[in-house]
Amino acid sequence: MAGSAASAAAPATMTEPKPASATGSSDGRVAVVTGGATGLGRTIAMELGRGGCKVAFCWFEMDGRDVESTALLTETTLSSMGIEVYAARCDVRDREQVNRFVAEVKRRFGAIHHLINNAGIAHDGALWRLTPADWDAVLDTNVSGAFHCIAACSPHFREQHSGKVVNVSAHQATRPGFGVSSYAASKAALEGLTRAAAVELGPSNVNVNAVAPGFIRTERLDRLPRDLIERTRKRAVLGRLAEPEDIARVITFLCSDAARHITGQTIVVDGGLSLE
């Protein structure tokens, strides 16, 4: 009787596994990066690869840019660093293409651990001048594309009872300027998708988060007016624009075991631009 009473009074024992280390290791994990050939996506792929991940990235043609050649250069660079890499053309707006890409990644590498939804486009201009085609292209790429990729990877995450999803949003989701209605709407929707996916995938031990950068020094910045860039730099509390690595390192943190208890959140990485 005394033993039974003692057992009844004993505190509950935690049965869930603790993280292996403070930072966690990415050695051997497989990361999928959409839009990984250029700009921020390329830096994300490099950063995850340096951390020990095998990297699969997809790319798609863009007007006025030779993305295929850049994708080959990115793939070659990753390989030269000793990183296992797979690159393929894939239009994230097309669910069947996404399914085929994800299936091939799983076939080649045996698993998928991280999904970075970086693919995105913008058609800037006053909303009364936006065509329905321009609006649809932005929403289909930035929101539906992310949805297709999460849906395609979810069965693998649920089967292995683990996974990390990071969606690349933007500070315009909550602080839009003039002429970015479609882009701002798409990123706000992406943050809503982030929270909803976190709720649905949480029971399968899958973390879903977003990062919201401000202006980043990538090729896209070269197409913006210089005076706008300078005004933005001065408005940022830190007085500078982000380098791609500033965003990529937050993403690698969210993919690590150190971030195991963070989900459904949007991490703003804008140098204090949103504090103006």
CB atoms within 10 A of CB 93: 19
Alpha-carbon span 1 to 200, nearest angstrom: 44
The residue with tokens 């001065």 is: 234
- Catalytic residue numbers? 183
**Cα distance from N-terminal residue to C-terminal residue, the chain:** 67
Nearest by Cα to 208 from 125, 274, 115, 271 = 115
**Sign of torsion over alpha carbons 222, 178, 133, 213:** positive
Q: How far is CA 174 from CA 32, 137, 169, 208, 263, in A?
A: 27, 21, 10, 19, 19
DSSP-derived letter for residue 271 is T
Alpha-carbon span 57 to 229, nearest angstrom: 29
Instruction: Please answer whether residues 175 and 272 qualify as being in contact, where contact means their C-beta atoms are separated by less than 8 angstroms.
Output: no
Gyration radius of the chain's alpha carbons: 20
CB atoms within 10 A of CB 142: 27
| HSE of 155, CA atoms in CB hemisphere, 13 A | 6
Find all residues with CB under 8 Å of 142, minimum gap 6, and list them.
119, 120, 121, 183, 186, 187, 189, 190
Phi, psi of 134 (to 5 degrees): -65, -45
